[in-house]
Structure 1
Amino acid sequence: MNRLRWNSKYGDVASKRAERLSEDCELVHNSGHYTENIWQGGVTNPAEEGIAAIAAFASEFQKGVWNLKWSQEMGHAANMARGDLESVGCGYTRCTKDGFELSIVLCLYYPPAGEQAYKKGPTCSECSDGFSCEKKIGMCFDRNATKIDTRGEDTSGSPSISILFLVMWTIYMI
């Protein structure tokens, strides 16, 4: 399993896609080449929105439907835990439906998902070319990945809310 990193390009695409969904305030999955999770809720604080979305995605871990193949019952969690997952980008927006203000959080994953959620095997036994094993946490990492600075922004200039999503994601995945 790879250590997750923020994907600025996917974050930008996710933000634009969330904005389009907010026009009708309806959650419709993209049938294109992205793998995505979408969440909608009534939370009013951006930090709480992100936490609620990631918690909802991760709640599928508790359903006990895990096996090596993807299924509808564990789709969001499988998207988060895929062994080949390298990066994530998320966006959020607000919309109004039936007089209620709602939030939409949308996350895109790279690379796009295949059918198998993960492979069984020894820790770091299948790190991709250009990746190394971080033995302390048992995850593969891209040696050339963008580093996150102490101000809460990645070096490509993504807003700090992006880093918030990444931090929350990491907490739920550990």
Structure 2
Amino acid sequence: MKTIFLSLALIGCCAAYTLFPPFREVLEVHNSLRSSIAKGTYVAKGTKLPPGANILKMKWDQNLEDDAVRYVNTCPKNVSNTDGVGENLYSIMVDESLNTIAAIDDAVNATKAWVATFQEKGWNSNILDKATFSTGTAQAIQMTWAKTGSMGCGYQWCERGQWKKGWSRFVMICKYNVRYVWNEEIYKQGATCSACPPPTKCEEVSGLCVGV
């Protein structure tokens, strides 16, 4: 199995961590969505959401990335359901004749596909109950869960040629330090970043809470 974990750049004898460009964009998609909700500008299937008072700005976590890479290298078909850890999974068949950079774009497309479910299904409730979960927006809800502050992802090409010659299954797993919780608010509605949990503070440009 060919491993495609490329997030460490070696400098001399030491390893300096560098966020792989597609993952940088994956993080940006998350924070862009969270920012638009926090500012009260996000529209889900025609409905503008109230601004958010306590939405954290996400940062990349190398340990979560390492965990995601280890798990995705097993070519899973489902999330691992690790206690307390949020997880999103994306899987799609891809043409191996595409060059590596083009194929890696699927990492960004995966994240945008999760966001798109809010436009397809709408945002039915700010409380995560079973009815809301069953709408098919679970991945997008995890992306917007206010108390989630860090994430890391990994991806792999699996089952090469098993289904169709020249094709494989692209799998991406993202792990989050905080998992959504049943029957709790997805985010606290109120004036933009007016209820940032200590020790975080408001980042005015994004409307998100930073400092954790």
TM-score over 0.5 for the alignment?
yes
**Residues 66 and 8 (structure 1), Cα distance of their counterparts in 2 relative to 1, 3 Å cut:** farther
Name the SS for the 2:147 alignment partner.
coil
Q: Aligned partners of 1:19 and 1:7: how far apart in 2?
A: 18
> Once superposed, which parts of structure 1, at least 4 consecutive aligned residues long, lie more than 4 Å away?
none
Query: TM-score normalised to the size of structure 1?
Result: 0.73
What's 2:12 paired with?
A: none
Q: Aligned partners of 2:103 and 2:149: how far apart in 1?
A: 25
Q: Aligned partners of 2:104 and 2:78: how far apart in 1?
A: 23
What's 2:88 paired with?
A: 37
User: C-alpha displacement at 1:126, in angstroms?
Assistant: 2.1
User: C-alpha displacement at 1:31, in angstroms?
Assistant: 2.3
**What residue ranges of structure 1 are gaps of 5+ in the alignment?**
146-174
Letter in 1 for 2:67: V
**1:4-153 equivalences in 2 (<5 Å):** 4-20=58-74, 22=75, 26-33=76-83, 34-43=85-94, 44=98, 45-62=102-119, 63-70=121-128, 71-72=133-134, 73-96=136-159, 97-99=162-164, 100-115=167-182, 116=184, 117-142=186-211
Kindly report the root-mean-square deviation, in angstroms, between the aligned alpha carbons of the 2 structures: 1.7
Between the aligned residues of both structures, percent identity stands at 24
Task: Decide which moves more: 39-48 or 51-60.
Answer: 39-48
**1:151-166 equivalences in 2 (<5 Å):** none
**Residues 17 and 121 (structure 1), Cα distance of their counterparts in 2 relative to 1, 3 Å cut:** same
Name the SS for the 1:42 alignment partner.
strand
**What residue ranges of structure 2 are gaps of 5+ in the alignment?**
1-54
Letter in 2 for 1:37: N
Q: Aligned partners of 1:19 and 1:126: how far apart in 2?
A: 39
- Between the two proteins, the alignment pairs up a number of residues equal to 139
Larger Rg: 2
User: C-alpha displacement at 1:40, in angstroms?
Assistant: 0.7
8 Å Cα contact 2:150-2:177 kept in structure 1: yes
Query: TM-score normalised to the size of structure 2?
Result: 0.61
Letter in 2 for 1:69: I
Q: Aligned partners of 2:62 and 2:103: how far apart in 1?
A: 18
